[in-house]
Each structure stands twice: as structure tokens, then as C-alpha cells.
Structure 1
Amino acid sequence: MSKHVFFVTCPKGVEYLLADELESFGLAQVRNAPAGVWVEGELEAGYRACLWSRLANRVILHIAEVDARSADELYEGVVALDWQSHIPVNGSFRVTFLGQNEEIRNTQFGAQKVKDGIVDSIRGAGLPRPSVAPKDPDVTISARLNRGRLSVGLDLSGHSLHMRGYRTEQGLAPLKENLAAALLLRAGWPEIADAGGDFVDPMCGSGTLVIEAALMALDIAPGRKTERFGFEKWPGHQPELWLALRQEVERRAHEGKNKRIPAFAGFDQDARVIDTARNNLRRAGLDNIVSVDPRPVSAFERQPDWADKGLVLTNPPYGERLSERKELAALYQTLGETVLRELPGWRLAVFTGAPEFGKSIGLRSFKQYKLFNGKLPAQLLLFDVQPENARTPRDPAAPGQVMPRIANPERADMLRNRLKKNLKTIGQWARKQNISCYRLYDADMPEYALAIDLYDGNVHVQEYLAPKSIDEKAARERLAEALAVIPEVLDVDPENLVCKQRQRQTGTKQYEKQAATGEYFNVQEHGCTLKVNLKDYLDTGLFLDHRPVRHWIQQHARGKRFLNLFCYTGAATVHAAVGGASRSLSLDMSKTYVSWAQDNLALNGVDLRKHVVEQADCLSWLADRKTSNQTFDLIFMDPPTFSNSARMAGVLDIQRDHGTMVRQCMERLSSDGLLIFSNNFRKFKLDEDLEAEFEVKEVTASTLDKDFQRNQKIHRCWHIQHKLTD
């Protein structure tokens, strides 16, 4: 038998599942396309796809591809094809048309040109003119225009295959049947059913998920009840082959009901929608196999005859209105508590357009799939229902919490496009430099006043405090949009995104914990290993803007004695030690950061006897004459702008005090040594007298990598040395 090429369409995000399914029918994959798969195989396999595909929308038999840069070129290409092989004599047809270009901007116009070409081709062969029938034609011709080429095919399905025939009435927001099947496959239902598991949907609506689960487990073809397919009046149709396939369908359905039948149960709090589900079950021939009952999630109970394992798959409400969304957290939490109590050992799968409420379920998800419900982005979240996977439920709608949500799609597209652009420029630069932690976005657009930093696949978002002129509600709306867009563009799990509001921190506030997760991980920078924590503190443990300064220190530290004042987590000291510094002293007032700095040094195999970290008030240490006899060849001082910590002897004001602090550092600097002095006070002015006393050179421009060149005031930096004496 001859091979044919087919284009099989499906919901967006289901392409890979569809390719696997088509392979099982004997169709070899040619290539994937958006919302479809190109395959080749015998006509029997195409028929089988029409009957058995649980995922496809349409099965299109490819006829030809013609040039179609203009309307005339399209017409000439179509009229040259052998249409009498595809449209019956005295038969009827219709054309579906997708796509456009500069000349063919309207699908109706494109469809008309294809119709004209078909009619003129058949009449030119001396045959009767076929009729055009918008409804119930003998055959449907599919025309798809893309980049100046028109793909023409015969729609073997005749109608969208997601319509199985059992659903004539619906609930409020029904899932399409083929999307429901995709969710079942992603959730592992065939394997669970084969292993003796049962199926439950506690929010079943009109019953689509539980019906599709039963059809799948009982080996009932989704096209079994379809009265007519699009190829049955096609001149190339093979009736005997088709009859054999229809007989196989009936045989397998009979055998499926004779093997073990899992328990199938659906529940919903709305009794009216349960009536709809019962009607759908009756039309599907499953009313004696699937049970559905009106019952809210809170009243859900395990039935005595259910297996010890199974699948709970459900599609809860998304909460389109704000008032509804405020109630979602409680619903999702109840769902999680109920399955953990009633069905331990089962798998829970939740398909939702509001995936942030997955945190309210109170279980740790082990897998997330990105899909679409129509045009709405959604996720399938998978959970193993085990006590050890329990976690504290979180309400994303609680006061102070910002829910990812796009209120203004056009504005969100602006941010989406900017992030994609930055990924191409800054991201490409970072990869070439082997830099895995960098700033991707820094308030590039006034609408989104954020800093977005990447840390080895994790995202740290800092929201700059909006000025008083900006309405607080508007600022939260924009932040919600950003939190929806960022994971999508960066292709990261929202669980790996941390968002903080950036405010001026003074005194001990800069050391106060924001959280207590204890979630540290290691990152690499110029051959150094550094420990970071994105959640627990205002900052992460690594000032990304000082990356070039640290690298410079590493390159110039060999054999030198290094002093790091206000050392924070000691990253600069790590670079100095890795660069070959003979010894170092690092000082910070925070016990937390002193311990962190010691951990960073230990991670890099540094001898802590030679590289000492001490808890100390740097102002007092600098003012202490007892320490003035310690000499260093390289000093790094990056003080806070202001500090009035109770642990300090006085108050630090960098503008007022820097002159004294620099001079005290210079007393400890060897004659040919170097002080690197930096701070991030935007209005800072260097004491002019320092330039008279020492060799002072501002090096700020050379300490800003590509990811910080938009924000040239992120810090300022000077190299200060003793003046040479004659």
C-alpha cells in the first residue's frame, strides 16, 4: 500500500503527546508544528487516527503544497491540481482557510480563491461543476497559508475529533474532550489503571474528565459513536478497510468491558451540573459504569470498595472575578486536606489557570506541565498524596501577597518583549563570560520598577518602592503582571522566583531576617564558589554589581595582605584568597554574615588560620590605635550609606564620615599598597582634601559590567594610594 503524508492538529501544548499516540497507530513523525504534527504512513493508519486519536482535532490528508505569494499565484497553483481524484462527480465541497500574507489578508478571500481554483480545475477537465456547501459537504478541503506557501489537504475527520458525540449540553466552563485526554495521559492514568487503580474527580462539572478516563481504561475508541467522517464520500475511500476497522472498534469495546473495570466517581456541589453529567454518561454508554453525585469537596469521603491507589484529577474553578479568587485558597486547601486524609497513596492532579493557588493545596508538587485551556495559559500540577509531601498551605490572595495576574495584556507584552530582548543581549553576554548570576532587568521601563536578577536558574525580583504619586493599587497590579510574565519568559518554575519590596534600610534593619527558610545554594563566579540565599534576607549574600571589583581583586591579590572592611559575606575575600593573597582579615558587625563569610572561605578550601573573619564594629576598629600597627597591601572598603546599629559605638553617615575612614585605612596601608573605596550613596561627593593628600583615581566606569550599564549610579568606586615621595 502507498504511503501518505498527514497533518494532524491538536490543542497547543499537546504536540509531543500526539506524536507518540500517532506512532502507536503506525504513523511515523515527519516534524512537529505549532498545534499539530506532520506524519506519514498508510491510509489505514490515517483512518485509525480518526477513530482512535484521543488528542487530535483534525486529520488532514496532504494533497499538495503550492506557491502562494500572491492571490494569482495561489489560484494558478490550485487550479493545476488533480481535483477530480478528491471531489466526487456532482459532489459538494467546502474550503477552510487559515493564514495570511501581504496580499491575502482575509481568510474569506483566501478561501474564495481556493474554491475558484478547484471549480475551474474540475470544469476544465470537462466534468460538471461541483457545488459549494458550507454545511454538510461531501468533502472538506483544508488550505493553510504560511510564508508564501499554501498547504492543501483533505480533512478526513470532517469535524473536530474532540467532539465525541456524548456531550450536547455543558457545564459553565467545560474542558474539551481531547484536552481532558491529554491531562489523563500527563497524569499517568493508563499506567495507574493497568496497575489496578481507580479514578475520582471531586469537582467533575459535566463529567468530561471521568468519561474520558473510563473510555481510556475500557479501550473504547473516542470515535466509536461518530456517525460520519469526512472521507466516506471521498473518491479514494476504501470501504472494506474502513469496515474492518469499525469491527475492531466494537470487538475491543466488548473485550474492554469484560476485564477489570476500575471504580469511576465524579462529584460536584452543583446538583444541576450533575444532571448534565448523567445525561452525558448515558449518551457515552457509561451510565452503569461511572457514578456521579452532588457533593461538595468538604463532604468527600472514600468509598469502601475503592483501591489503595488511584488518580484524583480535577479542574477547579479559576476565579475570573476578584471576589471569586479570594475564595479559591480555601477551596484548594480543602481539596489538599481531603485527599491527604481520605486517599493517601493516590496521585493528585490539578489542572488550573491559577497555578499560584497550587501553594494552597498543602502538598509539594513533583511535576508541572504548561498547557492551554483554549487560549488561557494553564498548568497541570501533579502531587503524590503522602504525609511526607505535606507543606504549610499558603494563600496567594492574603493581604500583602501579590497574585500573578495580567490585567493589561498590551502592557504585559511590553515587559515580555523587553525581557526577551535582554535575554538575547545580556543573557548571551553572560553565557560567553561564563557568568551564571547576573541582572537581567533594572527598571528598564517606568511601568515596571523592578530589578530582576538570575541566580543559576533561580530568579530574584526586587520591587523598587513606588513614589507617592503612584497609586498603590496600580503598583500592585503591575507587580502582579510582572510575576505572571517573568516565569513564562525565563521558563522557570514560579516556585523558583522570589519577590521582595526594596525599601531604605537603616541600622539593624538591614540585618533583619525576611524569612527563615534556611534555603542556601552555591553559585560560581570566576572560579569561586559562593553561598547565596534568595529568601531569608533583604539581600542575597552576593552584590552582583561588585562582580568586576571582586575579579580585579582576585587578579591583583597574589602574595598580598588583604583587609576587607564591612565584609558582608566575604565574597571579595574569597576572590582575594583564591587569587593567592598571603593572608587576610575580614570584619563585619553582623554575626550572621561573619559565619556566612567563614562558610564561603571553607567552600573554597581556604585556610581559616591565614584568612581570618571577625565580628567587629569597623568604625571602632579603625579608630582603635591598637590596630593601627597592622599593615595591609590591599584594602577593600564598601561601607553602608547610613547605620545606627545598637552594636555600633556611634552613627555611620558615609558622606560625613568617609574622609576620616579613608585616612584611617591609609594609616594601615603599605607604602605601595592600594585602597579600593566604594559606596552606593547616589548623591555622594568625595572629600576634595583627600585628592590633595593621596593619589585618587575614580574607576567606577571600569567596575560596571554589561548587566549594570543601565544603572551607572549603582555604586561609585575609587583607587586610592599614597603619593610617591622624592
Structure 2
Amino acid sequence: MSKHIFFVTCPKGVEYLLADEMKEFGLSLVRNAPAGVWVEGELEGGYRACLWSRLANRVILNVAEVDARSAEELYDGVVTLDWQAHIPAGGSFRVTFLGQNEAIRNTQFGAQKVKDGIVDSIRGAGAPRPSVAPKDPDVTVSARLNRGRLSLGIDLSGHSLHMRGYRTDKGVAPLKENLAAALLMRAGWPAIAADGGDFVDPMCGSGTLVIEAALMALDIAPGRKQERFGFESWPGHQPELWLALRQEAERRAYEGKQARIPVFAGFDQDGRVIATARKNIQRAGLEGLVHVEAQPVAEFAREDAWSSQGLVLTNPPYGERLSERKELAGLYQTLGSAVSRELTGWRLGVFTGAPEFGKSLGLRSFKQYKLFNGKLPAQLLLFDVQPENAMTPRDPAAPGELLPRIANPERAAMLRNRLKKNLKLIGQWARKQGVGCYRLYDADMPEYALAIDIYEGRVHVQEYLAPKSVDEKAARERLAEAMAVIPEVLDVAPENLVCKQRQRQTGTRQYEKQAATGEYFRVHEHGCTLKVNLKDYLDTGLFLDHRPVRHWIQQHAKGKRFLNLFCYTGAATVHAAVGGASRSLSLDMSRTYVSWAQDNLALNRADPRKHVVEQADCLAWLEDRKTQDQRFDLIFMDPPTFSNSARMSGVLDIQRDHGSLIRQCMARLASDGLLIFSNNFRKFRLDEALEAEYEVSEVSASTLDKDFQRNSKIHRCWHIRHQNS
């Protein structure tokens, strides 16, 4: 394919970032220019720049350079060019003109001479005269005069690419979208997001920074929402190539939401601009992913769902009036104090037109970048918020609260070292996989019989019931030691740590409330949002060991009818719905969990008409002849080991009853469908007769992620199909 020269424009001060971005699109640097770069490459690279550039204003395909020391010389150079190759027959065009010299001192005059040359060139070739259209032309011709040379090109973008299409309402002194993207890049946001970090803007205005942060982290093309680009009526346009690039962008936008989605949060004291921000978020297609609310900086507080690392990036008021500038020092001091107190370990970026107030933040900047907000000189100041720099560090315990006593420091040191090792190995794996909820420790040491689970910054500890051979006082001492070590190693405040005692559950005890705090919060798994509660029930609402099973369902549910029996809080159904299941039915006998499952589906914007959750006794439903005509392509059944609930028609013993349950499920399974059967009874043995009736394969090993491979018996799982399906 032939090579082209492109001139790509950008805000002043962003040229070097733009050159690096163009390399990602296959365009090599020819030379830098003020507020732009000259690059070379194939047409595909130009198309990618239009669709994917987060920094560019315009992408101009270079046509020619002509002498223009006088108006006549300019005209002569333009009229000799082959404009039929760039303007459609009988089509329309407009000319944008920049620059001046001694002979051409008026841009309107310069543009008119270029228009005359183009029209006369096309008419002289015997073609129909093109029309000049100031608005919505087929093609925009860019003319840039520098001293005695005129650069002519076709504006492939057709409009300034900083306009993504989501921001029609603007706050006061709005930050342009491509400048916001440049600030994010300079602040290191792509690497922070890739490492599992979150994003917060405590003075977000109309939401530009937080929206651009989300588009960047989720790999959504900034030009994805644009209806038309400047090259689509250009005679050299290649529609097949463009279609392939649009399809690629759609695929990447979908895939970007499948891993862990960072927190994107914005706050502003002005409720009116927050209302504008919400409209912008909706137009950007990020509703439910980006959260904004009205809140002054003085009330800024970390939320439990936020990661231990992230980026705070904000563009405070510049204080253009003297009365406003007197208040800036206090505002900056409040901002620095809040971030130091709440977000130790994060990075702070402040883009300001009043850099002299940066000292009021109380932090030492490690990097400063000079940029422009429009024509206004400004600086981006970067700070690493480290514990030694924090102005008011959070105390590890509430006032008057005593930390647990360590009876055996040497033994506690062993636990401390094990947790640090696991945090390095399993925590690193979890970050790379985008997993925010995982098991860190599972009775690795016999002295500490605990399960320790991480829930995106909160910690859930379950103490396994000690055998009778262990002295009760000794067990209490070991638990106290663990509860002293865990917050220290995991850097978690005591209020974000919950400890329960795990006992063998029978009947309906797994449904009984342990507390009544109502403290639900959201976590994320493979692009799904799920509601959990660490305090009120024995289980949290999310079985972490089944994460790979849910992910498999998500990857294979597209277009399928899905049935979830004993659905609990419906997490598997959420994954099926997000994966594109055509419809689903989820059944559980608990009103609490039915409501919880409905909430989880609503969080992920599943259509309640297609994805139904019902309170039902699964045993009775399977036996009911009225339901036997229903067919499903994919069934998930993870029953309890034993249940004698008063709501059930009988007593469930999974070892005794699994054969009939599976056969009843298979009667509702489509001929080419799949039943996923799982349970956590450690002594379970599958009825051999089932293997003669159906195609049965145990997949337990493949359903355990790294955090559960030390406890390979936590559950077993089978894929069951009709024979010869």
C-alpha cells in the first residue's frame, strides 16, 4: 500500500505525546511542528488516528506544497493540482485557511484564492463545478500558509477531534477533552489503571477528566460515537478498511469491560455542574460505570470499594479575579489535606493556572509539566502521596480502641511473613488478572486456621472451628494474634475487617442473619458488578471459589437460554446476562437472596423481562409437571450439601439425591445443551449410573483459580451432556 504524509494538530505543549501516540497507529515521525506533528504512513494509520487519537485536533492528509509569496503565485500553484482526486464530482467543499504574509494578510482573502484555484482546476478539466458549502461539506480542504509556502491537504477528521460527542453542555472554564487526555497520560494513568488502580477527581466540574479516564482505561475509542468523519465522501476513501477498523473498535470496547473495571469517581460542590456531568456520562455510554455526586472538597472521604492505589487528578479554579485568588490558598490546603489523609499510596495530579499555590497542598511535587489551557499558561504538578508526606495520617484504631495483644511474637511473625509472601504472589496474580476479590490465605499454617479473603480493600476473615484437642484459651490467643497482624500487613483499617467463626451448617443456618448492619457495597468481576455484604450473613453473597465457573458461563452464554438452580445471589446469572444470554430463569427459596439476585441483575442493566428471578423450592420446581416443557441450553446447579428448610417440599441430601436432580435437569436441557453440576461436599461420589446415561466429564481442576489451588477440594464440578449431542 502507498505511503502518505499527514499533518496532525494538537494543543500546544502536547506535541511529543502526540508523536508517541501516532507511532501506536503505525505512523512514523517526519518532524515536529508547533502544535502538531508531521508523520508518514499508510491510509490505515490516518484512519486510526481519526478514530483512536485521544490527543489530536485534526488529521490532515497532505496533498501538496506550493509557493505562495503572492496571491497570484498561490492561485497558480493551486490550479495546477488534480483536485478531482479529492473532491467528488458535483460535490461540495470548503476551505480553512491559517497564516498570513506580506501579500496575504487576510485569511478570508487567502481562502477565497484557494477556492478559486480549486474550482477553476476542476472546470478546466471538463468536470462539473463543485459547490462551496461553509457547513457540512463533502470535503474540507486545509490550507496553511507559513512564510512563502502553502501546505494543502484534506482534513480527514472533518471536525476537531477533541469533540467526542458526549459534551454538549459545559461547565465554567471547561477543559478540552484532548487536553484532559494529555494530562492523564502525563500523570501516568494508563499504567496505574493497568495495575488495578482507581481514578478520582474531587473538583470534576462537567466531568471531562473522569470521562476521559474511563474511556482510556476501558479501551474505548474516543471517536467511537462520531457519526461522520471528513474522509467519508472523499474519493480516495476505502470503506472496507474503515468498516474493519470500526468493528475492531467495537470489539475492543466490549473486551475492555470484561476485566476488572476501575472505580471512576467525580465530585464537585456545585450540584448544577454535577447534573451536567451526569448528562455527559450518559452520552458517553458510561452510565453505571462513572459515578459523580455533589460534595465539597472539605468533605472528601475515601470509599471502601476504592483500591489501595490510584490517581487523583483535578483542575481547580484558577482564581482570575483578585477576590477569588485570595481564597485559593485555603482551597489548595483543603485539597492536599484531604488527599494526604484519605489516599496515602495514590498519586495526585493538579493542573493549575496558579502554580504558586501548589505549595499550599503541603506536598512536594516530583514533576512539573508546562502546558496551555487554551491560550492560558498552566502547569501540571504531580505528587506521590506517601505515608511520610501525609499531613494527617489515619490512626490504625479508633479512639479508645485497643489493638489485640500478641501472646507469642515469634509465632505471629511466621503468620506475618506468610501473609506478605501470599500478598506478593497471589496479590500480584490478582492484579494482573483484574481480580479484586480473592482468597489470600486458607489455613496455610495449622496454628492459624483461618480463611482470609480480600474484597477490593476490605478483608473478610473466617475462623474454622478448632478441634476439641485444641485448648479454647489457646485458640482465642491465636485469633487475637492474627487480628493484630492482618490489619498491619494488609494496611486495612479495623472497621474494614470482619471476622466470623465458620462452622458446619445444616438446615437453613446458611440463610440466617449474623447481624443487621445493611452494609452492602459493590465489587467487580470480569466486567460484572456484584453486591456483597461482609457482616450480615455467614457468606458474603459471592462464592469466590466459583469465579472461573462464572467466567466460563459468561464466555459461553451468548444467545443461550440459561437456568440457575439454587441461584443464591444470582452471580452466575449476572455473568450469563453480561455474556449475552437470550434469557434466564433463576430460582432460590430465600426471599433475601431472590431480592439480592434481582439487585445484582439491575446493577448490570439486565432486562428484567428476559432475566427473571423467582422464589421457588428447586426440588418442587423440578418435580412439577407444569415446568417440564421448558427447555434451556445451559443449566447451572450448585445445590447445598444438606437442607431441611421448612420452605422445601422435602429434605435435600446431595449425596443421596443428586442422581434424581441431575436427571430432572437433563429432561429440561436442550439436545445440544450443557448442565454444569457442582457441589462442595468433600466426600461426594458421583453416581456411576449417570456416566452410562450421559456424557459426563469432571472439570474440577479447571474451575480453580490460583487463589484456591491450595484447597483443591473446596468444590467439585462436572459438565454433563446428552449422549451423541
User: In the aligned structure 2, how far is the partner of 1:303 from the partner of 1:348?
Assistant: 17
The equivalent of 1:208 in structure 2 is 208
Q: How does 1:146-165 map to 2 (within 5 A)?
A: 146-165=146-165
- Aligned residue for 2:226, secondary structure, equals coil
1:147 Cα deviation after fit: 1.5
The equivalent of 2:303 in structure 1 is 303
Alignment-mate amino acid for residue 55 of structure 2 = L
The equivalent of 1:86 in structure 2 is 86
User: In the aligned structure 2, how far is the partner of 1:305 from the partner of 1:235?
Assistant: 52
Task: Name the % identity.
Answer: 84
Q: Is the 8 A contact 2:337 2:391 kept in 1?
A: no
User: In the aligned structure 2, how far is the partner of 1:214 from the partner of 1:73?
Assistant: 49
The equivalent of 1:434 in structure 2 is none
User: In the aligned structure 1, how far is the partner of 2:307 from the partner of 2:246?
Assistant: 34
1:327 Cα deviation after fit: 0.3
User: In the aligned structure 2, how far is the partner of 1:156 from the partner of 1:345?
Assistant: 43
User: In the aligned structure 2, how far is the partner of 1:237 from the partner of 1:98?
Assistant: 25
User: In the aligned structure 2, how far is the partner of 1:349 from the partner of 1:172?
Assistant: 20
The equivalent of 2:645 in structure 1 is none
The equivalent of 1:40 in structure 2 is 40
- Aligned residue for 2:54, secondary structure, equals coil
User: In the aligned structure 1, how far is the partner of 2:19 from the partner of 2:378?
Assistant: 21
1:390 Cα deviation after fit: 5.6
Q: Is the 8 A contact 2:7 2:59 kept in 1?
A: yes
1:610-659 alpha-carbon deviations (Å, 9 max, x no partner) = xxxxxxxxxxxxxxxxxxxxxxxxxxxxxxxxxxxxxxxxxxxxxxxxxx
Q: Is the 8 A contact 1:364 1:391 kept in 2?
A: no
The equivalent of 2:121 in structure 1 is 121
User: In the aligned structure 2, how far is the partner of 1:129 from the partner of 1:388?
Assistant: 72
Q: Is the 8 A contact 1:86 1:235 kept in 2?
A: yes
The answer to whether residue 348 in structure 2 is matched with residue 375 in structure 1 is no
Q: How does 1:247-646 map to 2 (within 5 A)?
A: 247-389=247-389
User: In the aligned structure 1, how far is the partner of 2:388 from the partner of 2:127?
Assistant: 73
1:267 Cα deviation after fit: 0.2
User: In the aligned structure 1, how far is the partner of 2:92 from the partner of 2:136?
Assistant: 9
Q: How does 1:108-187 map to 2 (within 5 A)?
A: 108-187=108-187
User: In the aligned structure 2, how far is the partner of 1:318 from the partner of 1:146?
Assistant: 34
Tell me the matched-pair count. 392
1:259 Cα deviation after fit: 1.1
Alignment-mate amino acid for residue 114 of structure 1 = V
1:210-232 alpha-carbon deviations (Å, 9 max, x no partner) = 00000000000000000000000
1:582-635 alpha-carbon deviations (Å, 9 max, x no partner) = xxxxxxxxxxxxxxxxxxxxxxxxxxxxxxxxxxxxxxxxxxxxxxxxxxxxxx
- Aligned residue for 1:200, secondary structure, equals strand
- Aligned residue for 1:338, secondary structure, equals helix
Q: Is the 8 A contact 1:98 1:145 kept in 2?
A: yes
The equivalent of 1:240 in structure 2 is 240
Q: Is the 8 A contact 2:267 2:293 kept in 1?
A: yes
1:517-556 alpha-carbon deviations (Å, 9 max, x no partner) = xxxxxxxxxxxxxxxxxxxxxxxxxxxxxxxxxxxxxxxx
1:171 Cα deviation after fit: 0.4
User: In the aligned structure 2, how far is the partner of 1:258 from the partner of 1:334?
Assistant: 37
Q: Is the 8 A contact 2:97 2:108 kept in 1?
A: yes
TM-score, normalised via structure 1 length: 0.54
Closer, same or farther in 2 for the Cα pair 1:70/1:391, shift >3 Å? farther
- Aligned residue for 1:306, secondary structure, equals coil
User: In the aligned structure 2, how far is the partner of 1:277 from the partner of 1:56?
Assistant: 23
User: In the aligned structure 1, how far is the partner of 2:336 from the partner of 2:158?
Assistant: 42
1:111-168 alpha-carbon deviations (Å, 9 max, x no partner) = 0000000000000000111000000000000000002000000000000000000000
User: In the aligned structure 2, how far is the partner of 1:126 from the partner of 1:374?
Assistant: 45
Alignment-mate amino acid for residue 174 of structure 1 = P
Alignment-mate amino acid for residue 345 of structure 2 = G
User: In the aligned structure 2, how far is the partner of 1:219 from the partner of 1:28?
Assistant: 23
User: In the aligned structure 1, how far is the partner of 2:360 from the partner of 2:137?
Assistant: 50
Q: Is the 8 A contact 2:341 2:391 kept in 1?
A: no
User: In the aligned structure 1, how far is the partner of 2:236 from the partner of 2:285?
Assistant: 33
User: In the aligned structure 2, how far is the partner of 1:50 from the partner of 1:286?
Assistant: 21
Alignment-mate amino acid for residue 358 of structure 1 = G
Alignment-mate amino acid for residue 288 of structure 1 = G
Structure 1: tracts of 5 or more residues without a match: 393-726
Kindly report the root-mean-square deviation, in angstroms, between the aligned alpha carbons of the 2 structures.
0.9
User: In the aligned structure 2, how far is the partner of 1:269 from the partner of 1:36?
Assistant: 36
- Aligned residue for 1:365, secondary structure, equals coil
Q: Is the 8 A contact 2:340 2:391 kept in 1?
A: no
Alignment-mate amino acid for residue 177 of structure 1 = E
Alignment-mate amino acid for residue 98 of structure 1 = L
The equivalent of 1:611 in structure 2 is none
User: In the aligned structure 2, how far is the partner of 1:44 from the partner of 1:348?
Assistant: 37
Q: How does 1:679-698 map to 2 (within 5 A)?
A: none
Alignment-mate amino acid for residue 152 of structure 2 = V
The equivalent of 1:57 in structure 2 is 57
The equivalent of 1:686 in structure 2 is none
Q: Is the 8 A contact 1:364 1:390 kept in 2?
A: no
1:287 Cα deviation after fit: 1.2
User: In the aligned structure 1, how far is the partner of 2:244 from the partner of 2:96?
Assistant: 30
1:388 Cα deviation after fit: 2.7
- Aligned residue for 1:199, secondary structure, equals strand
Q: Is the 8 A contact 2:352 2:378 kept in 1?
A: yes
User: In the aligned structure 1, how far is the partner of 2:376 from the partner of 2:85?
Assistant: 41
The equivalent of 2:587 in structure 1 is none
Structure 2: tracts of 5 or more residues without a match: 393-725
User: In the aligned structure 1, how far is the partner of 2:379 from the partner of 2:390?
Assistant: 20
1:37 Cα deviation after fit: 0.2
- Aligned residue for 1:265, secondary structure, equals strand
